[in-house]
Amino acid sequence: MPHTLLLAEDDRAIRHALERALTLEGYAVTAVADGDQALAAVRRDPPDVLVLDVMMPGTDGLQVCRALRAEGDRTPVLMLTALVETADRIAGLDAGADDYVVKPFDVEEVFARLRALLRRTGPPDDVPGEPRRASDGRIVAADLRLDPQARRVWRGSREIELTRTEFDLLELLARHAGTVLDHTTLYDRIWGYDFGPGSKNLAVYVGYLRRKLDEPGAPSPIHTVRGVGYVLREG
C-alpha cells in the first residue's frame, strides 16, 4: 500500500507540479489549496504524512500544525517555506513541525525528507554501554523511560510530550546511552542525510529536547561533546 500524503499549497502551479511529482514517486496524494481544507481533510481521513505551505491565506500552515498538535495528532509534518531566517524556521518547529524545506526547493530534497520522516529507526546492533530494556520492551537510560511502541517518554513520574522527530532523536540517543554519536550519524539516522557543516537543524532539536527534559536540580541528560556530537548519560 502506498503512503498517503496530504499536500496543502495555495500556489496552483507549485501544488500541481508537486502533486504530480509525489504521485509519480508512489504516494497517494490529496492536494488542497488552503489551511481550512487541510484541517478538514486530515480530520476526515488522516494521512501518513503532511506537506504544508507556511504562508497560505486564511489559516496558514503554522496554524494548521498547531491545531493538529493541540488535538493530539502526531502525524509527521514537512513545512514548505519561502522564509529563510532562522527565527522563521524555529517558529515552524515550535508549532510542531518535524522538518522544513525552503523554497525554491529541489523535489529530490522533498522526497528525501519525506522518506526520513516516514522511516522508523530500527533497533541498532548491540554496542557497549547500551541501556537496559525493561521486561515490557521499554528503554531505561539515565533517569528516562521510553516506550518506543507507544512513543511515550517519562522522566521520573513526569511524562514529556515530544514531536515525532524529537522522540526519534531521544530514542536513538537512549538506545546508545553512554556512547557519543557524531553529527553525521545523527543526521543520517534521523533525517536520512547530512544537512552540511553550516546546518543548525540538529542543534535546534537538541535544544528543544533539553528544555523539555530539564527539571530544577536535574538538568537534561543530553551532553554536548564539542566538535563531535552528543551523548545521553547521567551527570
Question: Domain ranges in the chain?
Answer: 4-118, 132-232
Query: Averaged over 195-219, what is the pLDDT?
Result: 81
Q: What is d(CA 126, CA 232) in angstroms, rounded to the nearest whole number? A: 16
Q: Residue 230: pLDDT band by 50, 70, 90 thresholds?
A: very high
Under a CB-based contact definition with an 8 Å cutoff, are residues 64 and 52 in contact? yes
In this prediction, residue 122 carries a pLDDT of: 31
- Grid cell 517519562 is found at 154
Q: pLDDT over 90 for what percent of the chain?
A: 38
Q: Is the pLDDT of residue 100 over 50?
A: yes
Predicted pLDDT of residue 126: 34
Three-class SS of residue 108? Answer: helix
Please tell me the predicted confidence (pLDDT) of residue 132. Answer: 52
Structure confidence at residue 209 (pLDDT): 93
Helices (H), the chain: 12-25, 35-44, 61-70, 86-94, 107-118, 164-175, 183-190, 201-213
Q: How confident is the model at residue 139 (pLDDT cuts 50, 70, 90)?
A: confident
For 43-51, what is the mean pLDDT? 92
Distances from the Cα of 128 to the Cαs of 85, 186, 194, in angstroms?
Answer: 40, 18, 25
At residue 142, the pLDDT reads: 82
For residues 188-192, give the mean pLDDT. Answer: 81
Superfamily of 4-118 according to CATH: Response regulator (3.40.50.2300)
CA–CA distances in Å: residue 22 to residues 30, 101, 145: 10, 15, 37
The torsion angles phi and psi of 213, rounded to 5 degrees, stand at -85, -25
Note the pLDDT of residue 148.
87
pLDDT digits 0-9 by tens, 104-131: 888 888 988 888 888 743 333 332 234 5
Give the span between the Cα atoms of 45 and 139, in whole angstroms.
Answer: 32
Greater pLDDT, 220 or 207: 207
Which string of DSSP letters, residue by residue, matches 18-65?
HHHHHHHHT-EEEEESSHHHHHHHHHHS--SEEEEES--SSS-HHHHH
Flag whether pLDDT at 92 surpasses 90. Answer: no
Q: Measure Cα distances from 39 to 27, 76, 130 in Å.
A: 19, 14, 41
How far from the centroid of its chain's Cα atoms is residue 233's Cα? 22
Q: Which fold has domain 132-232?
A: Arc Repressor Mutant, subunit A (1.10.10)
pLDDT of residue 235: 61
Query: 4-118 and 132-232: same fold?
Result: no
Q: Which three cell numbers stand for residue 107?
A: 523535489
pLDDT of 84 above 90: no
The answer to whether the bond into 104 is cis (omega within 30° of 0) is: yes
Q: Give the confidence band of 86 by pLDDT, cuts at 50, 70, 90.
A: low
Confidence bin at 73 (pLDDT 50/70/90):
confident
Check pLDDT > 80 for residue 133.
no
- Neighbouring CB atoms inside 10 A of 103's CB total 14
Question: What is the tens place of the pLDDT at every residue in 161-185?
Answer: 999 889 999 999 998 888 888 888 8
Q: What is the mean pLDDT of the chain?
A: 83
pLDDT value, residue 13: 92
